[in-house]
A and B are shown apart, each in its own frame.
Chain A
Amino acid sequence: MNYLLKTGLAKIYVTIFMLYIAYLLVRPLSHFLAPFLDWNEWGETYYLLQSIKDNYINIWISLKITFIGTFVGCFLATLTAYPLAVYEFRFKITIMFLLVIIMMIPFIVNLIPMFLTLKLAEDYLSFIADIPVVSFFINRTLVTTVPFLIPAFGVFVIKQFIESVVNKEMLEAARIEGATERRIFFVLILPILFPVIAIIALIQFSGIWNSYELSLYFVGDESLRVLAHSVQSQPITIGAASPITFLNDILVFVPILFLASISGFIIKFINADLISQE
């Protein structure tokens, strides 16, 4: 029983998992290998390629947006976590409470009030002057990044990491040498934080890449949809190779590729001793 618990079951579970992941990774490529292995004809592969050509703009837009969103979100999270971890100031607990509230309310619940604000701003600001900011947000897919701009869970994780890793005496030394606070943050702190930023980036990336709700409600134009929305809007057909299966494979493939590219940082983060033994 002990032996089974210690090694056997875990190995079986992991091999099944790894096989499934390998299957997910190979699936989009398998459509191109299929004609050589006589699984299907070239015509079907051309038919699938057509779906990429049709949804080229969607794929490109959602890639662009996810990278912008992950970058901005990670940067904002580190900016908010750093003072909470290092400094002592008066409204620290209130800000933590605000972050908890942001974490507690999922963005789907806040979706319609968010739309209302944009709509009202559009009405009033266009009445005052033709300001392109609002129209830029209402009909572009950049809106899909908006609820992911403050990853509240990420702020807490980064705060924990800074508290356990960063040496406060080092900061004092830097201050005595004459470094400004901004310089301390960018030169001393940010390079240490890459492992934890990697895991926040992963959460951000998968969150933005897979969310279709904001695109569904906010983006009117059909050609400006994100990929997840264009997959979601098509009816499911199972069996023969269809464009939607291929788009779905791409939808699965990209985040796993991102995970593979930053896996070194993530493993470094997980193997670090974060929680101090009090």
Chain B
Amino acid sequence: MKSFNKRNQISAYKFLIPFFIVFILINLVPYLIGLYMSFNYWYLMTEFKSENIKFVGIENYTLLYTEPGIKQAMSSVLLYVSLSVMVIHPLALFFAKMISYCLKSTQAWIILAFITPYVVSDMAIEFSLDIFRDASGNLKYFKENWVSLSYYDALISIYQLVGFFTIVYYMVLKSVPKNIIEAAQLDGASIFLIFYKIEFNYMKKMIIMMFVLSIVMLIGSARGINFVIDNLWFVGDMGISAAFTWTYIYYLMLIIFFIFLYKKVRSFMARPFSARLSNQELSNARSLNPRLSNSRLSNVREEK
């Protein structure tokens, strides 16, 4: 059991008061009201009274799953996100590696050049892609359907986000210890081998985090989700809209639960078998198998 300094705890919670207030007002209360609303029917234009609210059970969710338009939009979101994620991260790693080779005096300009597309709005980028449009603003070279539009949006989001992730990866690349790389160079390893064997292993954790972050950012800007919310808004049925939010949260909870389960199982499997034996059994096993005495954990046990 950890022991905490009382003064430290009180001052920490004092700093966190504004966070709690904003979190409750912006996130927690809307989620709870949304959860209540997702099992009821309420039309937006009527007053929020018990006469106008009808309990419908899970009908909202079943409507969400059976509606063909929503299904198409969600599949387009999947296509768009997976496509752009597959392109963004390899490209960003490649550019980060290239920036690290440049002169230090030019790096500042390069970094600024990479950040700028992240700052510019996607609407403006879409607007500046006027090769794809005719004079009246319609798309020229392809038909407007969900598949082609998700390719088109992926192009824009790749342009926007590659620079951002390049700089994150560049910052991580800088923190890789230089002596290991030098040793590898002396042994005659090529750039690719060094990158794959050393630097990539150091960056693995950060890459996974950025992968998740990029998925969330892409979902936030997806055309499909905008389309669904827009339609639900103009229909005015608040129950289905709240159900839409909560299906997202259910999926999120499922994913978090599976990660938790995976970690538990992995930590259980990683524990050596010798840790579960008594001292007598361990010494017996050691006499049978000399390799066991070399294992790290059994040594630790001996010291205790």
Contact = CB atoms under 8 A, between A and B. Distances in A.
Interface of A: 2, 5-7, 9-10, 13-14, 17-18, 21, 24, 76, 79-80, 82-83, 87-90, 95, 98, 101-114, 116-117, 119-120, 123, 146-147, 149-150, 153, 181, 185, 202, 205-206, 209-210, 212-213, 217, 228, 231-232, 235-239, 245, 248, 251-252, 255-256, 258-260, 263, 266-267, 270-271, 273-277
Contact of B9 (A7, A89, A110, A210): A89
B48 A83 contact: no
Contact of B26 (A109, A114, A202, A239): A114
Contacts of A6: 98, 101
Main SS of the interface on chain A?
helix
The list of the 5 closest CB pairs from A to B, nearest first, reads A106-B220, A113-B34, A210-B121, A236-B137, A113-B30
A103 B47 CA distance: 33
A234 to B, nearest CB: 10
A238 B133 contact: yes
B18 A123 contact: no
B33 A120 contact: yes
A108 B12 contact: no
A205 to B, nearest CB: 8
B120 A252 contact: yes
Contact of B118 (A9, A18, A206, A213): A206
A82 B26 contact: no
Given A232-B123, A236-B133, A153 B27 contact: no
A89 B13 contact: yes
Nearest to A92: B12
Interface stretch (B150-158, B166-174, B276-284, B291-299): B166-174
A270 B19 CA distance: 27
Contacts of B177: 277
B233 interface: yes
